[in-house]
A = this chain, B = another copy of it.
């Protein structure tokens, strides 16, 4: 996980843990099973991690750090907010579908963190979410986007995008790139299309 070129035991444990935590939940996963699928015995886990909690925390901390750093690079090299948002959407879907186990756990197991770990991860989550908020704010300022509630719209967007990893099937007919295009189109223009622009109000 720290060095993707070497599949050290630690890396294997983290990868298997993410898989099991997603399949059975954090509480539903036991360390003997995790050890077995990592190729070692139960007790050996504790050579690499001090507790089950630490494994969960490291998965989340790593995932959020990568997400933040990659999205940062991505939008740093692109000045136009519309194009920034397109790239951000594409990236979020790609990363979440390519790392389903880790991102699912990071998303769904916040409740299983100790209070201290919880605080740290929430800080990172807010940081990531704030990047999307900022892009949209810039889009409004540039008069490219029309939104009256930036926070709500960012949340709606991220939940919709994260949802892709819940149903995405790598063996299905849709490529990730096509899916991203469809989401971009939906989020930008909605379902009503130009012809129905007269129903602007939502009573």
Is the Cβ of A188 less than 8 Å from the Cβ of B202? yes
Is the Cβ of B146 less than 8 Å from the Cβ of A182? no
Q: A116 within 8 Å of B by Cβ?
A: no
Q: A115 within 8 Å of B by Cβ?
A: no
Is the Cβ of A186 less than 8 Å from the Cβ of B27? no
Is the Cβ of B191 less than 8 Å from the Cβ of A147? yes
Is the Cβ of A108 less than 8 Å from the Cβ of B108? yes
**Chain B positions within 8 Å of A144 at CB level:** 192, 196
Name the distance in Å between A46's Cβ and chain B's nearest Cβ: 21
**Chain B positions within 8 Å of A47 at CB level:** none
Query: How many A residues face the partner with a CB closer than 8 A?
Result: 53
**Chain B positions within 8 Å of A108 at CB level:** 108
Instruction: Count the copies.
Output: 2
Is the Cβ of B194 less than 8 Å from the Cβ of A188? no
**Chain B positions within 8 Å of A185 at CB level:** 202
Out of B26, B27, B200, which one reaches A189, CB within 8 Å?
B200
Interface residue ranges of A137-166 to B (CB < 8 Å): 139, 143-149, 152-153, 155-156, 159-160, 162-163, 166
Residue ranges of A at the interface with B (Cβ–Cβ < 8 Å):
23-28, 82, 86, 108, 111-112, 136, 139, 143-149, 152-153, 155-156, 159-160, 162-163, 166-167, 174, 179, 181-197, 199-200, 202-203
Known: A25-B112, A146-B193, A188-B199. 15 other contacts (CB 8 A): A24-B112, A25-B27, A25-B111, A86-B203, A108-B108, A144-B192, A144-B196, A145-B191, A146-B195, A152-B179, A156-B183, A159-B160, A182-B202, A184-B202, A185-B202
